[in-house]
Amino acid sequence: MSAALWLVVPAAGQGRRMGADRPKQYLEIAGRPVLACTLTRLYAAFPGARLCLCLDPDDTRFDPAWVPFSEWRRVPGGNERVDSVSHALEAIAWEAADDDLVLVHDVARPCVTVMDLERLHAALADDPVGGLLAAPVADTMKRDDGAGRVAATELRAGLWHALTPQGFRYGLLRRALAAAATAGLAVTDEASAVEALGLSPQLVNGRRDNLKITHPEDLALAGQILAAQSTTEPAAAPSASAPTLAGAGVVDRER
């Protein structure tokens, strides 16, 4: 299979559940934006990868100096995560081969470890379907009745928390997202689109500290996790701004 690796990072969300004065990717952990922390982790594992960073077309907070990758491009984000990912896949259509591996990672997950990233990449190297980082459910799971009361207790055996990155071959992922859009399916992650084709992505066991910053208390928790990881994980990205692919002679498709 092709050795080419693409990273897609949707970062166009507004993060309204945080109740902050800015999107959550621009909130700071130890003086650095969440977005910068996340890109640092990805770069530490995959310095030779090509990055598609999906941003709101009207985003004025973004600073290219936060991107450590030598080959990257800014892609216009969409209304939903799936729209942003679809835009990224379209933007690289003339360069990506169908068997190139595409890893999609939430910008709000800065605590993913390099070890987990490398484990996922190795696990998917020869997998014809693809897969995702995931963690077995440890808590008792309750289903509500729609009125704030318990309707049932769900058996947790066999249940997993879906994490990111999620990785699939370019051709398969693009076909899966297009099919989901045509069928009007609600797609909350890439794996669900691939599952809708009748395929079974691989579950790659990931660490539970791969937290997604969603609620106000998560920011402080992410800071504590990163501090605890600081002896084994990178803490800062290169300070020099890297050129975008557009600057290297590739057309920038941002609106």
**Secondary structure (3-state) at 51:** strand
- Rounded CA-CA distance 250/54 in Å is 17
Helices of type H across 77-167: 81-91, 114-124
Residue identified by tokens 């835009």 is: 87
pLDDT number for residue 15: 64
pLDDT for 66:
97
Three-point CA angle 110, 162, 100, nearest 5°:
75
The dihedral through the CA atoms of 231, 237, 238, 239 has a sign that is negative
CB 237 within 8 A of CB 65: no
**Residue 253 has what pLDDT?**
34
Candidates 20, 202, 74; CA nearest to 190 is 202
What are the pLDDT tens digits along the chain (255 aa)?
Answer: 556 999 999 999 776 667 677 889 999 999 999 999 999 999 999 999 999 999 999 999 999 999 999 999 999 999 999 999 999 999 999 999 999 999 999 999 999 999 999 999 999 999 999 999 999 999 999 999 999 999 999 999 999 999 999 999 999 999 999 999 999 999 999 999 999 999 999 999 999 999 999 999 999 999 999 999 988 776 544 444 444 444 333 333 333
Strands in the chain per DSSP E: 5-10, 28-29, 32-33, 50-55, 72-76, 101-104, 131-136, 141-144, 150-154, 160-169, 202-205
Q: Which residues contact 196 (CB under 8 A, 6 or more apart)?
A: 176, 179, 180, 183, 185
Check residue 21 and give its pLDDT.
79
